[in-house]
Structure 1
Amino acid sequence: MFRPHSDSLLLAAQLGREPRLPGATVLDLCTGSGLLAIEAARRGAREVTAIDVSRRAVLATRLNARLNGVSVRALRGDLFTPVAGRRFDLIISNPPYLPSEGAELPDRGAARAWEGGPDGRAFIDRICRQAQAHVTPGGVLLLLQSSLSADLATARELGSRGFEVTVAARHHGRLGARGRARARTLRDRGLLNGEDAEEIVILRARRAAR
């Protein structure tokens, strides 16, 4: 777990514009400090569940929810595993998406919050494959990622699984410190071209009502 960055704040702002939110059942995947789950509860969600693989993140989410006077059910586990068989009106996620320098994902420590595998898609691809089974008909997935981890591929994958996909928000900016530190690796893999910059993209994927 680490402190929320500007990408989480961007997703929180988009969450506030989401028409499906009031009265909805909400799932926050890779919750971190619980910022998005708490924001969903504050803005009128009927029920909020937050999941993270980090024990510290789960404890922080529970504490932060209590401090903010809202109800959030925080669970420890791997993506959808703790909510097997359940569906939600709205799923939000800011998963680890930074392309990793090595092939192996960390199994402990703060780096789990940002390391996304060699192409940055280790978690994104799994969310794309599993989301349909956990979204109610007419429900929405809000997924944040970087252009470094191929947002167009995400849109195509979700589209192939029956979602109507639009770009809800896009922010162009300089690479963060971790991205700049591995810029040479990103260029060698063809993930970064030209300036040390990226786009943070929020995809809104709506499942058909029937």
Structure 2
Amino acid sequence: MDDTESTTTSADENTGNLCDNPTRDTLAEGLLGLLKPTVDQLDERVRSTRISQLELKQQIESLNEELSKVREALNNHPDLDPYVKKLIACKHKVTVVLNVLQASQDRLNEIRRMINKEKSVRPTVITGALPQEPEQSTSGVISERGTEDSFLLIDALEKDLNYLKEKNPTFCLEVGSGSGIVITAVSMAFPETFCLCTDINKRACIMSKSTADHNNALLDSVNMNLIDSFINNKFDLIIFNPPYVVTESGECGSKDLVASWAGGKNGREVTDKLLDMIPKKLAEDGVFYLLLIEENIPKEVCDIMSCFGFRHECVIKRVVRNEQQMVMKFYR
């Protein structure tokens, strides 16, 4: 037999051995038996993982929808600033009403004391006695002007009394006199001074004159808005207790009781109009007293007056019914 034939026969025998080998088959079955539980376990884990991935995908899609709703809600949130401003304005109005009610109660108590004692003497302030308002002032027409605001101004003028005596004012003006307590006190302190007062409310003008007459003080009351109609550089002393409550701009400019407190934006819309007039109406060496609260941003007021060439000084500061009030003095 040649070499070619021998090689072919050997290859055929090896092929047969590969196809029919009991030992190999036994080993393969043993290995499969060993690996099958692990493969089955791995297959089960793969199946569980795929199920978990599907559930996670559904949860992610659900979360995505919720986030979209939240994003839409955030983009469409209502503007709360106007409501906050209205609440602040309402708070100031409530404070003013409380002041009115307290002032009315104080006046009623004073009337009772007058009836019991036949004569009531008020504490010394500027002239030795505070001016007394006629009893009809308790009607509420201008009662806000009879509250602590007026007494704070009077206390400021008393504190500055020596300074004012050195000034020896010839013409004095109170803007927005209300019940007339402050200008009456000035008239009683400086009987040689010609005192004027203005108010946009005609009934307030009548009350101011009545208060002066009730205290034997001399003054004239003029029904007008601010001081634009007066001649320039005439007044040695100007006093202003403005409507300072922060309100909507539309509430400014009325001629009823609202005019006594409605100050518009920052509570300064009326005050700022008067500030523009002060340099023209005040005498060269005159002095201007202005009542403010913190919400009016007093620093801005001082900056405005500084631009007009005025120096400033805080004469008195006091917390009145949860409001930080102050009386500022402006002079050249």
Which SS does the other structure have where 1:200 is aligned?
A: strand
Amino acid at match of 1:16: E
- Give the structure 2 partner of residue 80 of structure 1: 227
- Give the structure 1 partner of residue 186 of structure 2: 40
Amino acid at match of 1:20: L
Measured after TM superposition, the shift of residue 137 of structure 1 is 1.5
1:2 counterpart = 2:146 = no
Measured after TM superposition, the shift of residue 16 of structure 1 is 2.1
Question: What is the distance in 2 between the residues matched to 1:159 and 1:86?
Answer: 18
- Give the structure 1 partner of residue 261 of structure 2: 114
Q: Where does structure 1 differ by over 3 angstroms across 4 or more consecutive aligned residues?
A: 101-104
Equivalence map 1:164-179=2 (5 Å): 164-175=311-322
Which SS does the other structure have where 2:164 is aligned?
A: coil
- Give the structure 2 partner of residue 205 of structure 1: 330
Which SS does the other structure have where 1:156 is aligned?
A: helix
TM score, norm. by length of structure 1? 0.82
Q: Which protein, 1 or 2, shows the higher relative CO under an 8 Å CA cutoff with sep ≥ 6?
A: 1
1:148 counterpart = 2:295 = yes
1:49 counterpart = 2:196 = yes
Greater CA drift, 1-10 or 19-28: 19-28
Question: What is the distance in 2 between the residues matched to 1:106 and 1:114?
Answer: 11
Equivalence map 1:63-78=2 (5 Å): 63-78=210-225
Note the alpha carbon deviations across 1:26-70, whole angstroms, 9 max, x for none: 110010011111010011151100000000000011111111001
Amino acid at match of 1:33: S
Amino acid at match of 1:146: I
If you compute each CA radius of gyration, which structure gives the higher value, 1 or 2? 2
- % identical aligned pairs: 22
Which SS does the other structure have where 2:303 is aligned?
A: helix
Question: What is the distance in 2 between the residues matched to 1:104 and 1:65?
Answer: 30
In structure 2, stretches of 5+ residues that fail to align are 1-140
Of 154, 160, 171, 1:12 maps to 154
| 8 A Cα contact 1:20 1:139, kept in partner | no
Which SS does the other structure have where 2:267 is aligned?
A: coil
Alpha-carbon RMSD across the aligned residues, in angstroms, is: 1.7
TM score, norm. by length of structure 2? 0.53
Question: What is the distance in 2 between the residues matched to 1:102 and 1:137?
Answer: 33
Question: What is the distance in 1 between the residues matched to 2:198 and 2:172?
Answer: 11
1:125 counterpart = 2:250 = no
Which has the larger share of helix?
A: 2
1:135 counterpart = 2:279 = no
Measured after TM superposition, the shift of residue 13 of structure 1 is 1.3
Q: How many residues align?
A: 185
Question: What is the distance in 2 between the residues matched to 1:117 and 1:72?
Answer: 30
Measured after TM superposition, the shift of residue 134 of structure 1 is 1.1
Amino acid at match of 1:29: V
1:157 counterpart = 2:282 = no
